[in-house]
Structure 1
């Protein structure tokens, strides 16, 4: 796979964006969500580079790629909701560069973190596409899934599109730092979970304190 415009995946993506503009970037990202071997870490900076060349605006690139993310995620959500899990796993195991372990990781991620898995999972490679499947299988509310997917995708897409826009002809360097962004997301997730646990523990202690507090008897003064 070549990571420079003119050949391989990047060449195909460049041609599609040249033909359809920002909607072409949205189409590619939608396909990336359904077909995980297409890396968003390549497509999004390339869309930013195309915006820098004046083919379309940065805002339209972000809007269309985020829309594509939501469309692709909803497609997998429906697959997870309607198809038996063993059939889904069999189908995914035939896709190049997709392993059943990735599917199990996404399922475990969703089971541990629920709605936060959908939001933050959009910013974790290997999880971002596949987390839609357990969300559908567990019948997560569709509007909540769509909203959290849109918000998480908006953050991820904005970072990478603007990265490609800022780097210009060196847009491909953005991919090298995707791991750093992933680590930041995971640190934020750990901090968020710790905060929620501490808050829950404090509420529990407060309830116990109130229940164990001695009942005060108020005597009315005699007339």
Structure 2
């Protein structure tokens, strides 16, 4: 039985499961098997809006249907994660520290002092950030760019990325494998986690902008007072 037929047969999952990304992932996996799951995850790394929380459980479900082995699903999805992350690392390395600072210097409310602080933080915690970042929605892709900018040793980057990706992929692939036709439950709970991350990012962004505006107003008021 094909993945598409199996998923379509479950009315509880057909509402969201076959829409958009899931349908695309199903088509790729049915066409080329486990390498298709790896290709989908590689593209997910390059385009974060593509949800690994849908693709990975589908790969697990596909393996439970006998389309390919669970081992193949884990190997190919992890390989796809590493390839996608390496491409973003290369982008960061190409961008480089000087280009990044030049761009940051032109962004409103961003001071080079802030950039220096981020660089110092990444120098101290970069290895942990790459490892644990692979298990956080949105950041799991983006964390590779600063690693490239800071020229983290490639072998260490690959090792940490592989380890973090393998943990993340294993959780979701095995969930899809054991849940079978109810694989979409994983997407629902992962969606809650992702929403929490998004809210946290938005709160941090609002706090940052507010702090910068207040700092700018204080400096402006101080200059006015000094001139008078």
User: Cα deviations across residues 109-135 of structure 1 (Å, max 9, x unaligned)?
Assistant: 845621011111100112100000000
CA distance in 1, matches of 2:28, 2:101: 35
1:1-223 aligned within 5 A: 3-5=16-18, 7-83=19-95, 84-85=99-100, 110=122, 113-178=125-190
Which residue number corresponds to residue 112 of structure 2?
none
Higher-helix-fraction structure: 2
CA distance in 2, matches of 1:74, 1:146: 8
- Structure 1 residue 136: deviation in Å? 0.2
State TM-score, norm by structure 1. Answer: 0.68
Q: Is the 8 A contact 1:110 1:131 kept in 2?
A: no
Which entry has the higher C-alpha Rg, 1 or 2? 1
Q: Is the 8 A contact 2:137 2:194 kept in 1?
A: no
**Structure 2: any 5+ residue segments left out of the alignment?**
1-14, 105-114, 197-228
Q: Is the 8 A contact 1:3 1:9 kept in 2?
A: no
Q: Is the 8 A contact 2:134 2:168 kept in 1?
A: yes
Q: SS of the residue aligned with 1:3?
A: helix
CA distance in 2, matches of 1:66, 1:39: 15
CA distance in 2, matches of 1:33, 1:117: 16
- Structure 1 residue 70: deviation in Å? 0.2
Report the more deviating stretch, 15-24 or 111-120: 111-120
Q: Is the 8 A contact 1:80 1:88 kept in 2?
A: no
Q: Is the 8 A contact 1:125 1:182 kept in 2?
A: no
Report the more deviating stretch, 174-183 or 110-119: 174-183
- Structure 1 residue 26: deviation in Å? 0.2
CA distance in 2, matches of 1:181, 1:158: 18
**Structure 1: any 5+ residue segments left out of the alignment?**
90-103, 184-223
CA distance in 2, matches of 1:112, 1:182: 28
Aligned residues: 165
Q: Is the 8 A contact 2:74 2:173 kept in 1?
A: yes
